[in-house]
Amino acid sequence: MTTLLITDSVFLDHLTPAGHPERPERMRAIGRALDDVAFANLRRESAPPAPIEAAMLAHPEDYVRLIEGASPETGFRFLDNDTSMSPGSLLAALSAIGSAQRAVDAVIGREVANAFVACRPPGHHAERATAMGFCLFNTIAIAARHAQVAHGLKRIAILDWDVHHGNGTQDIFWENRDVLFISSHEMPLYPGSGAEHETGTHGMIHNVPLMAGTDGAMFRAIYEAKVFPRLEAHQPELILISAGFDAHRRDPLANLRLEAEDFAWVTSRVMEIAARTCGGRIVSLLEGGYDLEGLASSVAAHVRELMRG
Ligand SMILES: [Zn+2]
């Protein structure tokens, strides 16, 4: 079996103001990296847009309608200081959701071994009813709920290695009993949440704060001690990854010191756990990563490992 890659030019149509780090060039950099012959065996699909109702798997209808109504005809509409919509943003966000759902369907249906979705806008900062941190809808949370609702899965794990805390995913799953949410993130850093004592109503939130300056060796030791045992103990039926690459040493928004090879390592360790617990079923969604060179090399390393699955 192969690895599914879903990406699409629709993700270029979510425009952000000049100088914004979360920009269409991120998609182009990833596209160039994955054009290499090393990725010839990827199964490639374009992004199917989800109906707006799909966002209601993780958000209240009032909030979904508010985002739908905020879509501007020209220019930008700001939802907070750094989160805005352009005319193409709504379709991009819905296509990210549709891609995540399709990736879940393909992995659970055994069409492919695993999947990576290269999409934007990112999603993990979007809370139940708050757009923030460049995010409109929480795509990974919607993917998890989709796996439960459409496929009857129960125990799902979401691993978020974006350098920022996945506050939105934590918010959405705070009171749940079946979805384990593990987030490692630099702390203190935006958005400020993600302390170890934030564990959720039923202990299903597992935060692993990292100090500024954490390098690959420290990251690996912390993952071996604090992340992988908890992930495996959950015995997930599906592993979802909020794959941000802003913990790369070149990233302008954070201060960790990972290299592309560290993302290859963590991918391969998660694949080992997935092989033991859920037949290797992994769906990975792009979150952050704002240095184009660091992002492209890290995504390439991540996908190269997934292709060994
Ligand atoms: Zn981030």
pLDDT digits (tens, 9 = 90+) for 47-64: 999 999 999 999 999 999
Structure letter (DSSP) for residue 219: H
pLDDT reported for residue 213: 98
- Name 120's Cβ contacts closer than 8 Å, sequence gap at least 6: 11, 14, 22, 24, 26, 27, 92, 96, 286
| Alpha-carbon distances, residue 255 vs 21, 97, 134, 190, 214 (angstroms) | 15, 30, 19, 12, 8
Q: What tokens appear for 75 in the block?
A: 């220019």
Q: How many CB atoms lie within 10 A of CB 265?
A: 18
293, pLDDT greater than 90: yes
Please give the sequence-ordered ranges of beta strands (E in DSSP) within 136-245, or none if there are none: 156-160, 179-186, 205-210, 238-243
> Which domains does the chain show, CATH number per domain?
3-306 (3.40.800.20)
164 alpha carbon – ligand 1 mean position (Å):
4
Q: Is the dihedral of CA 244, 250, 255, 260 positive or negative?
A: positive
Residue where the block lists tokens 């994955």: 34
267 alpha carbon – ligand 1 mean position (Å):
18
1, pLDDT greater than 90: no
283 alpha carbon – ligand 1 mean position (Å):
18
Please state the separation of Cα 187 from the chain's center in Å: 19
110 alpha carbon – ligand 1 mean position (Å):
30
27, pLDDT greater than 90: yes
pLDDT reported for residue 247: 98
pLDDT digits (tens, 9 = 90+) for 187-245: 999 999 999 999 999 999 999 999 999 999 999 999 999 999 999 999 999 999 999 99
Q: Is the dihedral of CA 104, 107, 108, 111 positive or negative?
A: positive
The answer to whether the predicted template modeling score (pTM) of the entire model surpasses 0.95 is yes
133, 82 contact by CB (below 8 A): yes
pLDDT reported for residue 221: 99
Which residues are catalytically annotated?
A: 125
67, 18 contact by CB (below 8 A): no
- Name 127's Cβ contacts closer than 8 Å, sequence gap at least 6: 138, 167, 168, 171, 172
109 alpha carbon – ligand 1 mean position (Å):
30
